[in-house]
Structures are given as structure tokens and as C-alpha cells.
């Protein structure tokens, strides 16, 4: 299974059905959230909202199932079992598992295409085993829940940069995902008004290898899309480099004073893929 959504995934509280369509229209995929975005007292109502927006036959949903992900509560909880019971009566088969911590948990989601959200110490340490599961299509990491699981107080320093432990988790989840050929999704940027900071972080996500980034506000979508869309100059440079490689006919060659080999050509190919070429 492959993850073909992105690059901008937008969370929407499941108990706010009036926002479903707007979230879908403004993003590349919507994550209907049954977990942290919904208070405990509202979870049953949230599941009811997901069911209520289906057609009378349950097969004509308001949201496109190919562009909809439902974040369910952590495995082993009563709410998780209720979430799965709800989903069985819907056409939605893309699921994000909150606080994924072991490969065994993924076996309970057989038949679903799963994004495993590694946001606890156990989840990060077991990221590789989780990524190896056949029904996992991607891994995402979460900074704030991770720090909370460690007993900390903040994932970032006063200047807005991630603390070392958060950066370690980000890298570990990315490496685990890509080692097993799965997509990696970068965590949300919680400072909503700081679009410049989001742009900087999103550009780093692109350069590091994350296939997409999650958003918590519609205003963040355009910034993330902008980070993932190569400029005309980037596309022209990548095209020129690959044309030169085709003409060189050797594994290693010089181009504009630089030594060019396989990894650099893959960077250029990645640029063209993001440009839709």
C-alpha cells in the first residue's frame, strides 16, 4: 500500500461536522480527529457526526474517502474499540492511530491503511517495527505528546527551535519510515500566527525527506504547499542536471564545477516529482 495524499494534511475535529467540507476543500487531505481534538464527553457525539454525514445507504459520504483520514483513539482503550465499530459502518479506510507504540497494535487495524502516529517514548523506540507492518503506509511523529510522555514541559526552546530530544524523535521516525519504504509526515506547527516559522520548518521537512506535513489551521495549508512546490528555477536546474547526466554516459561526472553522482541525481529527480513532472 502507498500513501498518495499530501503534502498538506489538515486536522478537523470530528465533533465539528460543519467544518468537514471546508477542511477538505482547503487541503490535500482532511484528518477527521476523534482523539485529542474532541473532549471525552463529546466523543460519542463525534462518532455520530461522522455517521450522520453519510448517505442513507452509507456509501455516499460528504467527504471523499480517498482524501479522508480518521484519527482514532489509542489502541487498547474503550474509545478505540468504539471508533472501530463506527468506522465499520463507513467507507473510510484510511486511519491514523494515535499514540502507536507497538507492531501488535497495528494488527488490530487489519483491512485499514494506517498512518502510525509515534508520539510517546515507546512509539519512537519501536518506530522501525511499526513501520514494518504491511498495513502501515506512513509514520508521523508528535512533539507535544512525546514531551508529555517524558514528563517534560515544552518541546521547544525560547527561540522556537525544537529541543534535542524532539529532534531525535523527528529523525528516528523519518528514518524508520523511509527504511521500510513508507511515507513520513512531519508534525504540526502549533504557533498558528507564525507563518514565517512554519515556512522555515516546512522547507526543512521537504529537504529532510518528509513527504507531507500536518496542519492545524487552514491558513497553514498554503504555506506548506508553497514549501513543497519547487520554484521554476529549481525545476530548470534539476532538468538541466538530469539532461547533463544523460549526456555524460558515466556514473560520476563534473557539472558546473561540482562532482555529480547518484545521490545528487536522486535529489534532482525528487524535485521534478514534487513539481509533477
Q: pTM score, two decimals? A: 0.86
Whether residue 57 has pLDDT greater than 60: no
| Residues 174-200: tens digit of each pLDDT | 999 999 999 999 999 999 999 999 999
The residues, ordered by sequence, that sit 6+ positions from 146 with a Cβ below 8 Å of its Cβ are 119, 120, 121, 123, 124, 155, 165, 166, 169
Most confident of 140-149, 223-232, 262-271: 140-149
Express each pLDDT in 101-120 by its tens digit. 999 999 999 999 999 999 99
Indicate the DSSP class of residue 65. G
Amino acid at each position: 500500500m502507498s500513501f498518495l495524499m499530501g503534502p498538506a494534511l489538515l486536522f478537523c475535529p470530528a465533533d465539528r461536522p460543519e467544518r468537514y467540507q471546508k477542511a477538505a476543500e482547503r487541503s490535500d487531505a482532511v484528518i477527521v480527529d476523534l482523539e485529542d481534538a474532541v473532549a471525552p464527553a463529546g466523543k460519542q457525539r463525534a462518532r455520530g457526526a461522522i455517521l450522520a454525514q453519510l448517505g442513507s445507504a452509507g456509501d455516499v459520504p460528504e467527504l471523499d474517502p480517498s482524501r479522508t483520514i480518521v484519527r482514532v483513539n489509542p489502541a487498547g482503550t474503550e474509545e478505540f474499540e468504539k471508533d472501530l465499530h463506527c468506522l465499520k459502518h463507513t467507507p473510510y479506510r484510511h486511519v491514523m492511530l494515535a499514540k502507536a507504540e507497538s507492531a501488535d497494535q497495528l494488527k488490530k487495524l487489519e483491512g485499514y491503511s494506517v498512518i502510525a502516529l509515534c508520539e510517546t517514548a515507546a512509539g519512537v523506540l519501536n518506530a522501525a517495527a511499526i513501520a514494518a507492518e504491511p498495513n502501515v503506509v506512513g509514520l508521523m511523529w508528535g512533539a507535544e505528546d512525546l514531551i508529555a510522555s517524558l514528563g517534560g514541559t515544552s518541546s521547544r526552546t525560547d527561540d522556537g527551535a525544537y529541543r534535542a530530544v524532539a529532534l531525535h524523535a523527528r529523525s528516528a521516525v523519518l528514518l524508520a519510515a523511509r527504511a521500510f519504504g513508507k511515507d513520513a509526515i512531519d508534525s504540526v506547527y502549533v504557533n498558528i500566527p507564525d507563518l514565517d516559522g512554519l515556512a522555515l520548518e516546512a522547507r526543512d521537512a521537504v529537504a529532510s525527506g518528509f513527504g507531507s506535513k500536518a496542519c492545524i489551521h487552514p491558513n497553514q495549508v498554503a504555506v506548506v504547499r508553497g514549501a513543497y512546490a519547487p520554484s521554476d528555477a529549481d525545476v530548470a536546474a534539476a532538468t538541466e542536471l538530469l539532461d547533463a547526466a544523460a549526456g555524460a554516459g558515466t556514473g560520476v561526472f563534473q557539472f558546473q564545477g561540482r562532482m555529480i553522482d547518484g545521490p545528487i541525481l536522486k535529489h534532482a529527480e525528487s524535485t521534478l516529482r514534487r513539481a509533477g513532472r
